Amino acid sequence: MQTKLAKEMGLKTPLFAFARSKEVVVEVSRAGGCGVLGAIAHTPEALEEDLKWIDAHIDGRPYGVDTVMPMSYAGKGEMPDPEKLRAMISPAHHEYVAHLLEKYGVGELPDDYERVGDDLLGWSVERGMAHLEVALNHPVALIANALGTPPPEAIEQAHKAGVRMAALCGKTKQALAHKAAGVDIIIAQGWEAGGHTGEIAGMILCPEIVDAVGDTPVLMAGGIGSGRQMAAALALGAQGAWTGSIWLTTEEHRAYHHATVVDKLLAAQSKDTVRSRCVSGKPARMLVTEWTKAWDKDPNCPGTLPIPLQWMVQAEAVERIIVHGNVPLMGTPVGQIVGRMNKVRTCRDVVESMAAECATVTDRLASYRG
Ligand SMILES: Cc1cc2nc3c(=O)[nH]c(=O)nc-3n(C[C@H](O)[C@H](O)[C@H](O)COP(=O)(O)O)c2cc1C
């Protein structure tokens, strides 16, 4: 099952897999799709390490790296300065986080505990450009950017290195801005998707964007976890499927989540997600938890902050929640496809069964013509 873009990129299946797990990236690419490593939680040094590991294990198959250079965020235009940014967070927000931790009985971090997380995360042009520079020193086939049109210097550097630049969007207007800036692949992210989403369902958004951007290839994102859904993406005019949630319950992803989160994902139904601003300050789809309910519904909540402040106010709290295995508060971004993620599978099984089902479905559709 191939499309023009898949052929050009040397893929066996037009299936792209966003993941923060280097193991998922390698296994998806080795199985014929295109793994894309999410760099947001990596320092440039950690990204370099992961990409070296990927290069050593991926058998020369194509893969990509995902950066997050948002259009708008607090402190835009200067190198992110944690102290300066921290000063922008009101005491009410710190107090609210402390209140939630106390309410749900979350203990302090142990004295000998070393923080693993990054309070700032990679969502700034400066951090994104640093990720890009690291990535372009590796044999990447693709750079994707979330939350805005990549800056001109990013597109220029990718093109100079002969690498395709992709960008996510949730509206046709954003797709046209991406195209005008020179983005090579538009990722149309429907509202059912995990992570940051807009308000338009994929069924509507994908063909609208395909028609608007002409010969620029489009990948459909949001709610794709089976070959039938991949075939639907192709039927809507996409040249491939861009996926994220489905990999969270794979064998290769296990190390990246607390066992409780995996259990919650396996048990969740498609109704158990919410679009909430509580993690980043921008609407993103995630599992419903007591944490999301508090930020979204509690009349005493002080409201959410812009990127990156909303994450900064809770980064340590999230580590405390994980260290103490707090079941009511633990969650993850995930899309509505979570309702079909009912058992742990290998990445190869997911890729191969999606490719096989997509081929069967397209044959079935062809047979309807008599
Ligand atoms: C846990 C998680 C984290 C995500 N983080 C990012 C990110 O850092 N950058 C990005 O471009 N997309 C991110 N996304 C969105 C995915 O790239 C993808 O567009 C989305 O998952 C597709 O919809 P689906 O979840 O229904 O497959 C994330 C998705 C999930 C589930």
pLDDT tens digit sequence for 234-247: 999 999 999 999 99
Cite the DSSP H helix spans in the chain: 4-9, 22-30, 44-57, 82-86, 91-103, 125-135, 152-160, 172-181, 202-213, 227-235, 259-267, 290-297, 309-323, 347-367
Are 67 and 174 contained in the same domain? yes
Domain count, the chain: 2
We report the CATH number of the domain holding residue 130 as: 3.20.20.70
- Protein residues whose CB sits closer than 6 Å to any atom of ligand 1: 18, 38, 40, 66, 68, 144, 146, 168, 189, 192-195, 221-224, 242-246, 332-335, 337
Check pLDDT > 90 for residue 226. Answer: yes
Are 33 and 174 contained in the same domain? yes
Instruction: Compute the residue count for the chain.
Output: 370
CA of 19 to the centre of ligand 1 (A): 8
Residue ranges making up the domain that contains 274: 88-117+252-323
Q: Is residue 224 part of a domain?
A: yes
Q: Is residue 329 part of a domain?
A: no
Are 131 and 232 contained in the same domain? yes
Q: Which atom of ligand 1 is nearest to the CA of 36?
A: 17
Are 200 and 267 contained in the same domain? no
Considering only the C-alpha atoms of the chain, give the largest distance between any 2 of them, rounded to a whole number of Å: 71
Are 141 and 55 contained in the same domain? yes
Predicted structure pTM score: 0.97
Q: Is residue 336 part of a domain?
A: no
Start-to-end Cα distance in the chain: 22
Check pLDDT > 80 for residue 118. Answer: no
Residue with the two structure tokens 């207007």: 173
Are 303 and 154 contained in the same domain? no
Q: Is residue 81 part of a domain?
A: no
Q: Is residue 61 part of a domain?
A: yes
Q: Is residue 273 part of a domain?
A: yes
Q: Is residue 260 part of a domain?
A: yes
CA of 297 to the centre of ligand 1 (A): 24
Q: What is the pLDDT of residues 88-113, one digit of tens each?
A: 999 999 999 999 999 999 999 998 88
Beta strands 15-19 and 240-243, pairing class:
parallel
pLDDT value, residue 77: 83
Average pLDDT in the chain: 95
DSSP, collapsed to helix, strand or coil, labels residue 17 as: strand
Give the DSSP H or E segment for 365: helix 347-367
